[in-house]
Structure 1
């Protein structure tokens, strides 16, 4: 990868990207021993957190540049169970692929949400977003589909309903476990409207007997404000916020 705009001491990388091209590939073939070890780790994780669901997701088989500002991603359909391989000796899980969205306020802050206790990452602060899912039978995973998934996450977690073409691909990240994130930029909205929409989502989820993805949202303008949020942070949030706010990466980046 050559179009790196910044690398943090943690190893997380930021990439300028304007276009995507995606193609389906083959997932890894596991030995019977690795499959059994993966399943044992997954079952222990589910016993510790029964809300975990072995649903379909997409792993990243290959990532490279094809032409200026166009990122090529080869993907393979797996399930969440696949990532239990990260905790298996000699297990090699594919990097995960996820989308997220910067939802600005009209005064330049952005929405950061705290994952609820019922999620796979309780208490973690992150941007609205989630794992990429494979297309349904007969569907395709392309630029439009990725924007659509980012728009769906924003609607489900914050209550902001947008047409996919209202989101603009803004930056890509590669971080922990080489996971690849695609960050989209949404149109700015007033804080009051965002709070109202989020409140409606929370009320609707709880009335249906479900916990919302986010237990709360906050609005941050700077890395210093982000650092003041107690609890774990997704590794991509600070560098993405720094880039959005126009502040340099931390010393050593």
Structure 2
């Protein structure tokens, strides 16, 4: 989840791409230094966000610094270590130290060809917004690499934490990459099909367990969509925007669930 809002994760009407990617190479770089004036604005925005939602935390995050193509179906993603606070600079006009989110999403299909969507709960930064299960990528620790295997683990963990649906990371196939007009990069994975009834059962068990512990689930509802029209009927914030969900649903429906990334190396 992006604590400071959805804009970095959206595909804007222009300059956005949904790429058929078969392989990804991740390279660590350095985040640009934050000038004093921008740091003051960044800290103010973060403090205001925390006042509005005390559950936010300024944890470590891997930001996307510079995506680039590596042949027709390859992608190089340069990433940098930072914290969620840095994303507040996207709200500062003319800021020079902006970075964009790097995240993973999971396409969880049913045998009938529909995809699971989750609605963000009232306690999150974007209440009522529908999205694929997923979240921000955390930087590795103890010298571990940030590679495609790490992204698969991140995707599997986010899917389990948000929906209660468990897959081994190796079961998730690289499906594509969403590049946002504002620099965000979302690595999309395709999960094995599961019956909708089972997915509802797992989600209900997860939300009941979370509330029994006194915690509010990140998603308050799930639904299944198989077309852009069905997606639009969900409503909620951003339902009529040209974000990543429409292109993803359309491509999945057109391809009958084929995993483009499974055809290439990893």
TM-score (normalised: structure 2): 0.87
**Runs of 5+ unmatched residues, structure 1:** 1-6, 248-253
Q: Which deviations, in whole Å up to 9, do the C-alpha atoms of 1:130-172 show, x marking residues without a partner?
A: 0111012221100100011011111111111111110011011
**1:36-89 CA-partner distances (Å, limit 9, x unpaired):** 111011111211222221111111111112234221111001111001101123
Number of equivalences: 241
Distance 1:63 1:143 in 2: 15
Q: How far apart are the structure 2 equivalents of 1:176 and 1:82?
A: 18
1:24 to 24, 28, 31: 28
| 8 Å contact from structure 1 (residues 27, 76) kept in 2 | yes
Q: Is the 8 A contact 2:115 2:225 kept in 1?
A: yes
**8 A Cα contact 1:60 1:96, kept in partner:** yes
Aligned to 1:239: 247
| Match in the other structure for 1:114 | 119
| Structure 2 alignment gaps of length 5 or more | 1-10, 256-266
Mapped to 2, the partners of 1:195 and 1:175 lie a distance apart of 30
SS state of the match for residue 70, structure 2? strand
Q: Which runs of 4+ in 1 moved over 4 A?
A: none
1:164 aligns with 2:164: no
SS of alignment partner, residue 47 of structure 1: helix
Q: Residues 154 and 233 (structure 1 numbering): CA distance in 2 closer, same or farther, change over 3 Å?
A: farther
Kindly indicate whether residue 141 of structure 2 is the aligned counterpart of residue 133 of structure 1.
no
Report the equivalent of 1:73.
Answer: 77
Structure 1 pair 24/33, CA: closer, same or farther in 2 (3 Å)?
A: same
Residue 82 (1) aligns with residue 86 (2): yes
The one-character-per-residue Cα deviations of 1:100-155 (angstroms, maximum 9, x if unpaired) are 00000111111000000111211110000001110122211001000110111111
RMSD after superposition: 1.6
Q: Which residue of 2 aligns with 1:220?
A: 225
**TM-score, normalised to structure 1's length?**
0.91
- Choose 36-45 or 97-106, whichever is displaced more: 36-45
Would you say the 8 A contact 1:19–1:71 is kept in 2? yes
State the Cα deviation string for residues 215-236 of structure 1 (Å, max 9, x = none).
0000111100100112124821
